[in-house]
Amino acid sequence: MDKSVRITGIILLATAPFVLYAICMLLPTFDDWTYITSPYMGELLNPERLCPNENYWRPFDGLFGYILGLYPQLFPTLNHICIFTGHLACTYVVYLIGKRIGFKSFSLIVSILFFYLSPATLGTVYNIDSMNQVYSQFWGLAALYFFLEKTGKERYLLYGTAVMIATLCKENGLAWSIIPPVFAFGFHHQLYPIEKISNGRRCSQVTTHVLIAIAIVIVYFFLRYILRYSSITLEDNEYLQFTLLDKVKDFMEFIVYTWIPVDYVSLFHQPSRNILIVAITAVFTFPCILYMLYAGRKNMLTRPFLTSTVCWILAASPHLLTIFSLMHSYAGLSMAAIMLGCLTESIERKSDKKRLTSLLGLWLIAVLFIHAHHWMKAYESGLTGKKMALQAIEISHGTPERVYLITVDDGYPKYSSFCVIPHEAFGWGIAVKYHTHYEWPHEIKDTCINISHINDARQLADKAYQEGYDCVWLTQGKEVKLIEKK
């Protein structure tokens, strides 16, 4: 291992405990409260959580939620530890793949830093319910590494097993069934000397690889069919409700989140909007990316770069075809890192490398600021949920078993999992369960009303008390109020 690569790795590992400590300070909000990686106190072998259930089949997430149900005090710290550890593991496999295809030390460093620190990681690494996204990527990368490193039956056994695990982590892992053969075909000259394999044998290999990929897909859907708890419903399915304009928008977001690192909080969240910060982060980050494109332009039409571009799109294609958000840009990030490695491989002059190193330093400064700003907003959102939960506990009489929650929607905007609407940070009352160690309340029923209908709250509360609810909470903004029984 080159000295510069070793130093980069040591710095990342040395700072990892401090990064993890900061991440563990982030509290649950929104989907974190309801997804299956939150504490679950039900039966272990619940088929609804372990078997294919409508859009999902994520048994590892279901088992993880059960473990947290046994030890709820570990939530969400254990989630954060597993997610960040998985991200570190993915970074290491990106390094191994870059080394396997012959990247020089400079290209390896660029690939590692881009994958590890890109703002495209934020929606995944700072989240609490995104373990599936990280480990789908990890096992997908493992499948690719096995495909490149092993031969014969061992290659196909390890590659196929890794793809199935990736898919059971999250459905987009199935894309990794086709990525390894495509990747190997595109990087053929780097992996196998051209004179050692004839064209006929190469075509035969490609055919075999494609058939194996198809077989993996068939096996997965066969298992999903025979083990199903409930089938995918087409009617009102959010994964299938989209227009062509939606898909164009998703693809543009995919490009922006991957290649245009600016402070997205200051750009997309209206109450936090600060165009000056957006401009400064753009000035610090754009030159680095643009210079890589310029200095590495002669590699842009080469087979390796075009292949890694295809794999980048393939890795994210399940999300691009269904639902896409900031979290989902993580799916293609490893291949984007390989793309940059391909570009920087053509940079040979010391003056160009020195210039790019300086620009990379500016990129790092801006990216670290973007990370810090997103962390702060995520921390504030989690803290809002905690304060609302403690407020609800304080105003309640005793320990109510059945609670009716009335949420007032005042139109406050949100941005991903960082700038969360207060009542979503409150988790529809689940935050109270968390802060009472899941001792009370046992039942929470919620309804949402528009702020223009806030006068209806009294009538809803009266009806709830008539139906036997012990307590009625009203959330408006960051405040939780108790509507007393008449």
Q: What's the whole-number mean pLDDT along residues 62-90?
A: 95
Average pLDDT, rounded, for the chain: 90
Is residue 193 over pLDDT 50?
no
Torsional sign, CA 147, 5, 336, 133: positive
- Tokens standing for 357? 């190193």
User: According to the model, what pLDDT value does residue 228 have?
Assistant: 84
Q: How far is it between the farthest Cα atoms of the chain?
A: 88
User: According to the model, what pLDDT value does residue 241 have?
Assistant: 63
Is residue 166 over pLDDT 80?
yes
Q: What's the whole-number mean pLDDT along residues 439-452?
A: 92
Q: What is the pLDDT of residues 390-444, one digit of tens each?
A: 999 999 988 999 999 999 998 899 998 899 999 999 999 999 999 999 999 999 9
Greatest mean pLDDT among 20-24, 47-51, 352-356, 456-460: 20-24
Percent of the chain with pLDDT over 70: 94
Question: Which residues, 6 or more positions from 386, have their beta carbon under 8 angstroms from its beta carbon?
Answer: 27, 431, 435
The C-alpha atoms of residue 424 and residue 475 are separated, in whole angstroms, by 10
What are 409's strand-pairing partners? 450
* pLDDT confidence bin for 254, thresholds 50/70/90: very high
Locate all alpha helices (DSSP H) within 101-130, ordered by sequence: 105-117, 122-125
Q: What's the whole-number mean pLDDT along residues 190-195?
A: 47
Spell 150-178 as b/e; 16+ CB within 10 A means b: eeeeebbebbbebbbbbbbbbbbbbbbbb
Q: What's the whole-number mean pLDDT along residues 305-329?
A: 92
Cis peptide bond prior to 76, omega within 30° of 0? yes
User: According to the model, what pLDDT value does residue 59 have?
Assistant: 93
Q: What's the whole-number mean pLDDT along residues 337-359?
A: 88
User: According to the model, what pLDDT value does residue 239 have?
Assistant: 57
Torsional sign, CA 365, 367, 369, 375: negative
Burial label, 388 (beta-carbon count in 10 A; 0-12, 13-18, 19+): buried
